[in-house]
Amino acid sequence: MNDTPTPDDLALALRLAAATLRGAPADADWSRPAGSIGWDCWSTVEHLADDLLAYAAQLGPAAPPRDRYVPFLATRQFPGGPHNFVRAEQEAGADGLVEVLEASGGLMVAIARTASPDTRAYHPWGLADPAGFVAMSLVELLVHLHDIAQGLGLPWEPPADLCHRVLTRLFPDVTVDPANAPWPTLLWATGRTALPGRPVRTEWRWHAEVRA
């Protein structure tokens, strides 16, 4: 099994995520809480789009910053809300919101396909290469879709091989137990659920740095 997350993996995950979100009922309440993270479903999709575009931006400059984010102006719309520079027009409705997610993710896919493997750029959890930013984009997408799907009552279970590659690249401290599938293990690694013999994590992080 290839253990390196690829732009094609991210493109696939984006298609699955968009199809899932577009499967929400026309009268779905996007102001419902997204899982246990404390944001509503609409804000969580905006946060996800913001993450994907921000990761693309980190790889974009001729000399990517190694000690800070590219300085876009980000704001919070409510106390404790996501700190975003990407917003979706409320008047565009859920279709517009999903389009914003697709656009941000598509830019991340495109730049990851063209960036040199030798590129390194800042993330607070480690100086990362393009494959690392793809993996971070994937974990954000897979896990936040879980949060949103919980809020909207939608089914969401991404492909096991994508989850396995994310775990291998970003979570060297997590053992992928053969008794537990990669998807539940990724949810456990990101503090969403318990596993047999493993209580819910109250503190966690990934490791973005390139490892030998």
Domain CATH for 142: 1.20.120.450
Domain assignment present for 99? yes
pLDDT of residue 197: 87
The structural domain count of the chain equals: 1
Answer for the pair 144, 154: CB distance below 8 angstroms, yes or no.
Answer: no
Look at residue 23 and tell me if it is in a domain: yes
Is the CB of residue 101 less than 8 Å from the CB of residue 182?
A: no
180 within domain boundaries = no
Looking at the domain assignment, is residue 163 inside a domain? no
pLDDT, residue 180, reads 76
The residue segments making up the domain with residue 134 are: 7-158
Look at residue 146 and tell me if it is in a domain: yes
Would you say residue 183 lies in a domain?
Answer: no
- pLDDT of 179: 66
Tell me how far apart the alpha carbons of residues 190 and 202 are, in angstroms, rounded to a whole number. Answer: 9
* Other beta carbons within 10 Å of 120: 17
Q: Rounded to whole angstroms, how far apart are CA atoms 2 and 5?
A: 8
**Residues 157 and 20 sit within 8 Å (Cβ to Cβ):** no
Residue 14 maps to a domain: yes
Structure tokens at 72: 């876009």
Predicted confidence at residue 3, as pLDDT, reads 83
pLDDT the model gives residue 211: 85
Residue 74 within a domain: yes
Distance CA 200, CA 202 (A): 6
The model's pTM is 0.95
Predicted local distance difference test score (pLDDT) of residue 40: 97
| Residue pLDDT tens, the chain, 212 long | 568 899 999 999 999 999 999 999 999 999 999 999 999 999 999 999 999 999 999 999 999 999 999 999 999 999 999 999 999 999 999 999 999 999 999 999 999 999 999 999 999 999 999 999 999 999 999 999 999 999 999 999 999 999 999 999 999 999 887 767 999 999 999 999 999 889 999 999 999 999 87
- Helix H or strand E encompassing 14: helix 7-22
Torsion of CA 38, 39, 44, 46, to 10 degrees: -140
Task: Please state at what angle helix 130-152 crosses helix 7-22, rounded to 10 degrees.
Answer: 10
